[in-house]
Amino acid sequence: MQLTVGDKAPEFTLRSTEKAEVSLGDYRGKNVLVLFFPLAFTGVCTAELCGVRDNMKKYETVNAEVLAISVDSLFTLEKFKESENLNFTLLSDFNKTSSRAYGSLYEDFVLGMKGVSKRSAFIVDAEGTIRYAEVLEDAGQQPDFSKIHEVLESL
């Protein structure tokens, strides 16, 4: 399913690296940047999430939370978060339900891997409506963070 601007964001409840259940609805009243990424500890994913880490002040000034989601186990994500000193929530979509609901799942990825999250970015506003949607087919590319910041600043 292809989600577009104006759609209601699919609700999800996933486990964080702290092993707590985190739901999108927990952030009602705030803008949320939902990032799906293929795999922890890979080059482009590390660069992307470290870039987010280094720009957290920008997200904080526009009342935005960041949730980064992959199909990695929460244990792998915990080590990744620790290794890269990431300062936002990482969530495990190990069962692939959220990636699928957001149209962000490779059925076939590289090296025979199946069911890996596509690199994607969604801005969900305070009422739960999608205000930005970008799903990349090329895992070597990153979302358009300048456009993401522009949209967040306009909310």
What is the model's pLDDT at position 107? 87
* Structural domains in the chain plus CATH codes: 27-154 (3.40.30.10)
What is the model's pLDDT at position 129? 98
Could you confirm whether 50 is annotated as catalytic? no
Distance CA 123, CA 3 (A): 11
Q: Which of 5, 52, 37, 3 is nearest to 155 (CA)?
A: 5
Distance CA 137, CA 149 (A): 21
Greater confidence (110 vs 20) lies with 20
pLDDT at 1 over 70: no
pTM across the whole model: 0.96
What is the model's pLDDT at position 111? 79
Q: What is the three-class DSSP state of 63?
A: coil
- Among residues 14, 32, 45, 124, which one is catalytic? 45
pLDDT at 110 over 90: no
pLDDT at 134 over 70: yes
Average of per-residue pLDDT values in the chain: 96
Average pLDDT over residues 11-25: 97
